[in-house]
Amino acid sequence: MPRAFAPSVSRSENSLQPVPARRPTREEALEAVRTLLRWAGDDPRREGLLGTPDRVVRSYEEFFSGYGVDPVALLQRTFEETDGYDEIVALRDIRFESHCEHHIAPIIGKVHVAYLPNKRVVGISKLARLVEVYAKRLQIQEKMTAQIANTLDEVLQPKGVAVVIEAAHQCMTTRGVHKPGVTMVTSRMLGAFRDDPLSRREVLSMIGTQGGAKLDNV
Ligand SMILES: [Zn+2]
């Protein structure tokens, strides 16, 4: 379930996650799905469910493919020939699908990423890939927001970074408090976007959010 404020995230959490001591075998994963099917009250041996464990395990490979990618390495290739371009670079409405780490329920939303270059820029598809790498892990929205911003800051060393995420959490809409239509907004501002109100206002107007109360206290 979404939490009310962003915890601080250390930079060491930005790279590859620690690998568990022993990865379960595929057969163990299939058996775990069968156990959950029995726990739900059904019979994994009935015809309609026979292929389900295999499909679930393959879905997990897709949902959680971000654990196998190093986001820092992903951004390493930068370009310096910008002809002195020193204004904001913003990529809006990057759709993402993630899963909350508390319920493994989908989180679906949009990420807006912006930075103020300091000589170096990165290919825009890399920004989208960066979002993808963190989305394809178990997440809470606050952590994902901070991880994207911190990684960009660390690798590009720009003058400012802004990341805003708007998302719906299915753990809130399909279970628990059952509140459909609720969107959570989180933001992380670094450098000039954090310290300079004018730059902050400019970037927020570029990415289409007006910096309301929800944005300001994250
Ligand atoms: Zn949840």
Query: For residue 173, what pLDDT band results from cuts at 50, 70 and 90?
Result: confident
Q: What is the mean pLDDT of the chain?
A: 87
| Cα–ligand 1 centroid distance for 206 (angstroms) | 30
Among 99, 142, 147, 171, the active-site one is 171
The proportion of the chain whose per-residue pLDDT surpasses 90, expressed as a percent, equals 71
Q: Which long-range contacts (CB under 8 A, 24 or more apart) does 180-183 make?
A: 183/109
Q: Residue 177 — very low, low, confident or very high, per pLDDT cuts 50/70/90?
A: confident
pLDDT at 77: 82
Cβ atoms within 10 Å, residue 80: 8
Q: What is the structure's pLDDT at 188?
A: 97
Residue 204 has pLDDT above 50, yes or no: yes
Residues 97-120: tens digit of each pLDDT: 999 999 999 999 999 999 999 988
0.75 exceeded by the pTM?
yes
87 is catalytic: no
Cα–Cα nearest to 213, from 182, 186, 189: 186
Mean pLDDT, rounded, for 147-174: 95
Hey, what domains does the chain have and what are their CATH numbers?
Answer: 26-63 (no CATH), 77-216 (3.30.1130.10)
